[in-house]
Structure 1
Amino acid sequence: MTGRLWGPQPLPSGETLFRLWAPARSAVDLELADKTLPMERGDAGWFQVNAPAPPGSLYRFRLDDGLAVPDPASRQQQGGVHGWSIVPPADYPWQAGDWRGLPWTSAVIQEVHVGLAGGFRALADDLPRLAELGITAIELMPVGAFSGDRNWGYDGVLPFAPAESYGSPEDLKALVDAAHGLGMMVLLDVVYNHFGPDGNYIAAYAPGFFHADAQTPWGGAVAVDRPEVAAYFLENALMWLNDYRLDGLRFDAVHAIGNAGFLDWLARSIRAGVHGDRKIHLILENEENDAARLGPTLYNAQWNDDFHNVVHVLLTGETSAYYADFADDPTQRLARCLEQGFIYQGEPSANHNGKPRGSRSGHLPPWRFVSFLQNHDQIGNRALGERLTLLTDHAWLRSATALLLLCPQTPLLFMGDEYGARTPFLFFTDFHDALADAVREGRRREFAKFAAFSDAQARERIPDPNAQATLAASRPQPPEDAAEWEALYRHLLQLRARLLAPRLSSAYSLGADVLGEGAVRARWCLSDKAMLTLAINLGKQAVTVPPGQGRLIHLEGVTGEPGSFAAWCLEP
């Protein structure tokens, strides 16, 4: 028996050990395709049995009331999340076996929805294009099995099993192998704060997996303070990093977990449990802006929503919902973001009911902040899923793109950004019957507070998440000017790879100045004492930009004019 608690485990005898934590049940049976075996109840509600079940065998658990459930740690499913689990193969013939990863300072991340990319195999075929453009890491939105054939990513219920509609576990490993062969990292977004609404059977046999008295937007909080639950998520993380050889994980909405001690334990345990001498990167999404979680023994970086939010306000003029926190003096807020990372460092946030948000972050190196102009959340949470290409002037967007890609903070793109896609990214699911109705109507009620959707007729324009057409509309398509956008991204990423990436390890800010409404200049000292200066004007009036030190490495528009961007680098 191995040290793992969850999931099927091969034994030296050739049999397979099956285990299920079901403390609320008095009896559990293991069902194989040709037989049913009673499982022995052990300590703390664990049931287990050894059985002759080679790789590829189908199995599931039958509870004492007759309910058949998949393994919550199933590595592969047949027939969806309500179907049979499959005993996984022992190994995969890796081709890029000597891959050890890339330093985080070289990361240029492309966030990808595997379903919209056509599945694991189709995405693997697209990797050479992304590598040639200058992308050094792809971040897969969650791939854990979900109800139906399509989902925007955050309704998974079997986090160990890749969704069948995306491909097999072997297909995912081949994708990772292909990326490593091209010198690219593969990161995965994992969801440890909730499960989806259909296909999560855990509460039926282990209600203690959740805290009924601690509610989240998705129901009872996951009980990560229980050792069985903590082990479940640690083993999931190590499966992705060891069995699939992923280069890192992005942890979704950890503020909804609400347990900093668990987060620290998880990071340290992951780093201690990764096989081999490899560079592993752990990234947080955390509305708390908790700088204490970022460090060499914990998490490499955090998604910095503050960067997106303030730039979005400047680009679009939108100040509703969470953008209201950035409507007051957005220029000064952008300067603080470029200089110190987080904008909210303990100040009260209206979007958080006036409570203080964040902690001091100016001491952290800039590459610990993952910046983006848009991502799955910021597009998908819009009623009509519009991208920035439809919301702002393209000259302003080109300048914001230059700021993103030439700033020492770690840049993240969303699939389609690189060719200026106009297609939306909509919220889509594959639910049925009453749940489908509830999701569709709930989605429309969510936007009733916005003036554009204040009446019922207007809300009918919001796409039905369960319609096949909603998924189809979300597939990114290159527009007529795609080549112009790709040329911009290629040029900027070549500059970043040559001038910034090798010099970021000990880079630090030299300050940021407000030059006028919407206009900011920021400066950094790079590791070899090179000086980087960026100046952007997202305002309506021309400003005077002090002469930059060094040579001009990129220019959009006319320096200081509305919609302009300029970058200088003074090499030692």
Structure 2
Amino acid sequence: MSHRYAFGALHLPNGRTRFRLWAPGQPGVGLERRDAGPLPMQAEEGGWWSVETEAAPGTRYRYALGNGPTVPDPASHAQDGDVDGWSVVVDHAAYPWRHTGWTAHPWPRSVVYELHLGAMGGTRGVEEDLQRLATLGVNTIEIMPVADFAGSCNWGYDGVLPYAPDESYGTPDDLKALVDAAHGHGIAVMLDVVYNHFGPAGNYWHSIAPDFFRKDIHTPWGDAIDFREKPVRDFFIENAIYWLTEYRFDGLRLDAVHAIADETFLHELSERVRAAVGGRTVYLVLENETNDASRLEKDFDAQWNDDVHHCLHVLLTGEHDAYYADYADDPAGRLARALMEGYVYQGEATDNHKDGRGKPSAHLPPSAFVNSMQTHDQVGNRALGERIAALAPIGNVRAATLLLLLAPQVPMLFMGEEYASKRPFLFFTGFPSPELAKAVREGRRKEFARFPAFADPHRREQIPDPNDPKTFAASCLDPAERQQPEQEHMESFVSTLLRLRRMRLAPHYEGAKPLGAGKLGERGVRAQWQLADGSVLTIAAQFGEHTVPCEVGPGRLLAESRTGLEDELPEHGLAARSAIAWLQHPDATA
């Protein structure tokens, strides 16, 4: 292994394996192996226990706690028999990497494609789709969490063994083969990781080391992790290094960091990760509800910008429930601000954040923001998992797609979005415990009771049961859907836009500067940037039902969401549900 880790089973060059566990307060800890006798582990300072012994790759093992149960290794690198089964010794040096000279592209040139491994057929299914994605113009895939979770299927945010890829997706070598193959297609690979909580089943840290958790605060998903403890910090920071080195991922997306109750942990993680990868290009991206722009000034490359999503969603659908209420009063004006400055809210109070939300972000480059029209959160956290193509007129979807894919911010597509899939993406689980499955089902229905559309108890009963296998099956992509005329047309449109982005715009995004944006009527926006080579990019989009006056951008037509739009400008204005882009080269005049 390219790094030594404080936790877990470390297979050594001499063929032996070192086992190590942090279990303060335990009177003793023993190593149990399925095919060999038990061994006592030696106490070390600080609550650590370790033993080095003969244990070949593939050895099944567990830890016997002196005053508790026998448990899997919380730093297990692979499992045999779900989260409660045997942990497996893995020799990471044994995988024969093929694309050893791979170098990731600069972050501002990224086009991200978020996907769920299970919903795309596991590692093999995604590997088979890499050529199509590369041809489409995707150069970065972001995989939803793979950490081992209880049961047969899961979004991944209920993981309890952060170092072990879930068995349902294949072996560790299968996951490495996917990363390796992606590099061969010129595609970087990011992994979504969860460091703010553990799932509700299969987490043994309470038995191993109760001090792993804080007793004074909780998260929406359970007990808060105590990052004040150095071994706790090391457990997660080493996990980040582990994925980036042993699996050669090119970046991480850190889930819901606003739920991490420690002001210094994220900075330390960034510093140690950057040092560990030795100058190699890796991307560190946040999900952060607080919109803390200071995190993006040095430590992290970007953040998911939900503000852009929310503005677009209101403009495309007219919905204004829950958090969309914060954008419904002026969605076009707020979108214009987000395109120029990043966050819509930079300290102001909102209906849902009475004490204010966000920090000033206009000083950050456009590449500090990952913009999207759909994500697993925004689709899957709808009661019925509807995608935008099932909620909005296709003209609006195409107009928003042009804006998303040509603007200088980093765009992200959610799997199937490139061909306007209408298959739902639902919240699904596969918990083996009937009691937990019932609690999740009832909690899901209670959660949506606050939405007016589901205030009727009878309607709430129609929300799919997350633990029903049919719910997961309904969320999987259907390749046959791509063959339908509307879907083929959309995929061709996306491919054209991404080709323009790659060839005409992306080389000049780094250093791009906003020149201004404003509303077109009540539901349109016109935005303009100067790119690094001095060229000027102008994009105008109208999501309303009427033509609106619009000044022609400087330069020549670059792209349009409907054919013939250039004939309607400037005399007749920008047509309803359409978008258009112009590009002026630095040596040209308007």
The TM-score, its normalising length taken from structure 1, stands at: 0.98
SS where residue 482 of structure 1 aligns? helix
Do the aligned residues in 2 keep the contact of 1:251 with 1:285 (CA within 8 Å)?
yes
**Is the Cα–Cα contact under 8 Å of residues 140 and 187 in structure 2 kept in the other structure?**
yes
Q: Take 1:274 and 1:546, find their aligned partners in 2: how far apart are those partners?
A: 48
Cα distance, 1:174–1:11 mapped onto 2, change above 3 Å: closer
Distance 2:66 2:39 in 1: 13
Q: How does 1:159-174 map to 2 (within 5 A)?
A: 159-174=162-177
SS in 2 for 1:30: strand
Per the alignment, do residues 335 and 225 of structure 1 end up closer, same or farther by CA in structure 2, a change over 3 Å counting?
Answer: same
Residue of structure 2 equivalent to 1:69: 71
The separation in 1 between residues aligned to 2:421 and 2:380, in whole angstroms, is 14
**Partner of residue 377, structure 1:** 377
Q: Deviations over 1:421-444 (max 9, x none)?
A: 100000000112111110001101
- Which secondary structure does the structure 2 equivalent of 1:540 belong to? coil
1:179 maps to 2:165: no
Q: Give, in whole Å, the separation in 1 of the partners of 2:504 and 2:393.
A: 28
Cα distance between partner residues in 2 of 1:414 and 1:136: 14
Which amino acid is 1:306 matched to? D
The CA deviation at 1:152 is 1.4
- Code of the residue aligned with 1:512 in structure 2: it is A
Deviation at 1:274, TM superposition (A): 1.2
**2:576 matches 1:571:** no
* Contact 2:27–2:67, Cα closer than 8 Å, also in 1: no
Q: Distance in 2 between matches of 1:143 and 1:42?
A: 32
Distance 2:499 2:144 in 1: 26
Per mean C-alpha deviation after superposition, the further-off stretch among 153-162 and 559-568 is 559-568
- Correspondence for 2:395: 395
Which range moves more in the overlay, 558-567 or 85-94?
A: 558-567
**TM-aligned CA distance change 1:456 to 1:515, over 3 Å:** closer
The corresponding residue for 2:239 is: 236
One-letter code of the match for 1:562?
A: A
Mapped contact 2:11–2:90 kept (Cα < 8 A): no
| Aligned equivalents of 1:349, 1:82: Cα separation in 2 | 44
> In structure 2, what is the Cα distance between the partners aligned to 1:515 and 1:113?
37
Q: Which residue in 2 is equivalent to 1:355?
A: 355
* Distance (Å, rounded) in 2 between the aligned partners of 1:42 and 1:211: 24
The answer to whether the 8 Å contact 2:11/2:89 transfers is: no
Deviation per CA, 1:49-91: give whole Å up to 9, x if none. Answer: 1111011111110112451111111000000100000110241
> Counterpart in 2 of 1:474?
475
Residue identity matched to 2:369: F
Q: CA deviation at 1:12?
A: 4.9
**Structure 2 equivalent of residue 155 of structure 1:** 158
Paired AA for residue 93 in structure 1: P
2:55 to 41, 53, 56: 53
Residue matched to 1:291: 293
Following superposition, the deviation at residue 190 of structure 1 comes to 0.3
Query: 1:515 offset after TM fit, Å?
Result: 2.2
Matched residue SS, 2:315? helix
The runs of 5 or more residues in structure 2 that have no matched partner are: 566-572
Using the size of structure 2 for normalisation, the TM-score is 0.95
- 1:181-225: per-residue Cα shift (whole Å, max 9, x none)? 111100000000001000000111211111121111112211112
Contact map agreement 1:55 1:90 (CA 8 A) in 2: no
Distance 2:561 2:39 in 1: 69
Q: Secondary structure of the equivalent of 2:467?
A: coil
Give the number of aligned pairs: 569
Equivalences for residues 512-531 of structure 1 within 5 A: 512-531=517-536
- CA–CA separation in structure 2 for the residues paired with 1:512 and 1:188: 34
AA of the residue aligned to 1:72:
P
User: Are 1:424 and 1:476, in contact at CA under 8 Å, matched by a contact in 2?
Assistant: no
Which residue in 1 is equivalent to 2:444? Answer: 443
Contact 2:117-2:123 within 8 A present in 1 as well: yes
Alignment of 1:288-367 (within 5 A): 288-295=290-297, 297-352=298-353, 354-367=354-367
**Which residue type is aligned with residue 264 of structure 2?**
G
Shift in Å, 1:543: 1.3
Match of 2:413 in 1: 413
Alignment partner for residue 197 of structure 1, among 191, 197, 200? 200
Q: Describe the superposition over 1:8-38 as per-residue Cα deviations: whole angstroms up to 9, x where unpaired.
A: 1233543211111111321111001221111
CA contact (8 A) 1:304 1:342 kept: yes
The equivalent residue for 1:7 is 8
- Aligned residue among 268, 273, 277 for 1:274: 277
Give the Cα separation in 2 of the matches to 1:6 and 1:66.
Answer: 20
Amino acid at match of 1:35: G
| Structure 2 counterpart of 1:501, one-letter code | A
Q: Closer, same or farther in 2 for the Cα pair 1:425/1:64, shift >3 Å?
A: same
2:9 is aligned with what amino acid? P
Deviation at 1:3, TM superposition (A): 4.9
Partner of 2:493: 488
Given that residues 517 and 541 in structure 1 are in contact (C-alpha distance below 8 angstroms), is that contact kept between their aligned partners in structure 2?
A: no
Q: CA RMSD in A?
A: 1.3
* One-letter identity of the residue aligned with 1:321: A
- Per-residue Cα deviation, 1:431-473 (whole angstroms, up to 9, x for no partner): 1211111000110111112222223221110000000000000
**How far is 1:333 from its partner?**
0.2
The residue type paired with residue 400 of structure 1 is A
Give the 3-state SS of the residue equivalent to 2:233 in structure 1: helix
Separation in 2, partners of 1:69, 1:24: 16
Write the letter of the residue equivalent to 2:28.
A
What's the CA shift for 1:498? 1.0
Deviation at 1:405, TM superposition (A): 0.2
Give me the identity figure in percent: 52
**Structure 1 residue ranges without an equivalent (≥5):** none
1:540-551 aligned at under 5 Å gives the runs 540-551=545-556
Match of residue 515 from structure 2? 510
